[in-house]
Structure 1
Amino acid sequence: MGERRSGTRERIQAVAVELFAEHGYDKTSLREIAERLDVTKAALYYHFNTKEDIVVSLFDDLIAGLDEIIDWAKDQPPTPETRQEIVRRYARLARERPKGMMRFIQESKTTMQELAPGEKLHGRFNTLSAMLRSPDASLTDQLRSRLALVPVSASAFMLQDADATDDERYEAGLELALELVSPRPAAAD
């Protein structure tokens, strides 16, 4: 029974994200979510009372995944290999999110600021990006570490018009992210 509930919860989250990405958070109603799911509003209310509850649950799940990466990384030596593994783990996490979620995050800055999880999420991204650079990183390398998370998160929707599968889009984002955290060759004098 718990597995069925969890599957329903994930289905609701996925459909809600689809609709938020298509129409925007403010223009999507619980009724539309229920209709797309082909369930009654009462069935939807069994799992979530409001759109905010759905969004909060999505971000709570994402934050829990980010916390797992951060906890793992804290116990690792601060090496280029660790930084690359952080990016790989983040890429897997991003790929597991409902399709459209990363687009929703990128395009819903106002909604994100209004909801409590938005601040937590921002803090986790700051922590991860700090783990992707050495303590003495130049300003340019600090920017690289912050940017490294973007192609992983955004590749699916930024490349949506490319003739590629979702897997190929994610792989392209991962490849670029890994380049951004890879050691830079020393500048020639």
Structure 2
Amino acid sequence: MAAPAMEDTYDKVLSAAVELFGEHGFAGTSLQAIADRVGVTKAALYYHFRTKDELLDALLRPALNDLDRVLDTAERRKGQAVRQRVLFEGYVDFLLRYRTLAVILDRDVSVGTHRAIRPRLESITERVRSVLDDTERPIEQRVASTVAMGGIYSAVAVFTHLPDDELRRVLLDIVRRLLAPRRARPAAADPE
């Protein structure tokens, strides 16, 4: 049986790492376990990744680059409402595209706090806050934006059985309703 091509092995290692991180967590997965899942020697795996940190970076870098592009697009738009709409739509699409990684990040705190990616995640979080937090808006709308952002992430991680298009539709509808400007309610009548 011929040895797999180098590019093929690289992709297989990434796929196996995602599977095993999902099953056993980042800390609970060894490079040897990944090599075994792929069917290569540990030396063959070392050709591509010397450490699990390098492997984690290779897994998350494309996703985080895509999230940076979503933020770039939102930040360039005029008007707070438009920036937020673009951010929420892009964020939902991003999470659905990287659903498996989102679930791993949600369930394995060690990945999101890992020194290899933590500074990048902190930078992204700060950029998201700057798009969401408009001090000119009432506090209820500012809190609703934050709740929507966290809720989207949680829903993608929890409702893994829903097809992408259905979950996207539901999430964006909920975000629109949550962020819709509220009309002032009339004051309650004084009891006699």
Query: Does the alignment pair 1:176 with 2:166?
Result: no
Structure number with bigger Rg: 2
How far, CA to CA, are the matches of 1:40 and 1:83 in structure 2?
47
Q: Which amino acid aligns with 1:175?
A: D
Q: Which amino acid aligns with 1:185?
A: R
Secondary structure of 1:25's counterpart equals coil
Counterparts of residues 83-102 of structure 1 (less than 5 Å): 83-97=84-98, 99-102=99-102
The answer to whether the Cα contact below 8 Å between 1:112 and 1:118 also exists between their aligned partners in 2 is yes
Percent identity, aligned pairs only, is 24
Runs of 4+ displaced beyond 6 Å: none
Q: Which has the higher contact order (CA 8 A, sep 6+)?
A: 1
Tell me by how many angstroms 1:11 deviates.
Answer: 4.0
Tell me by how many angstroms 1:8 deviates.
Answer: 5.0
- TM-score, normalisation: structure 1: 0.78
Range with bigger deviation, 31-40 or 20-29: 31-40
Number of residues of Structure 1 aligned to a counterpart in Structure 2: 181
The answer to whether the Cα contact below 8 Å between 1:155 and 1:170 also exists between their aligned partners in 2 is no
CA RMSD of aligned residues (A): 2.6
- TM-score, normalisation: structure 2: 0.77
Partner of 2:140: 140
Q: Which amino acid aligns with 1:149?
A: M
The answer to whether the Cα contact below 8 Å between 2:53 and 2:116 also exists between their aligned partners in 1 is no
Q: Mark the CA change 1:139 to 1:122 in structure 2 (over 3 Å): closer, same or farther.
A: farther
How far, CA to CA, are the matches of 1:72 and 1:165 in structure 2?
26
How far, CA to CA, are the matches of 1:18 and 1:176 in structure 2?
31
Structure 2 residues not aligned, in runs of 5+? 1-5, 187-192
Partner of 2:57: 56
Tell me by how many angstroms 1:111 deviates.
Answer: 4.1
Q: Mark the CA change 1:88 to 1:27 in structure 2 (over 3 Å): closer, same or farther.
A: same
Partner of 1:150: 150
Secondary structure of 1:100's counterpart equals helix
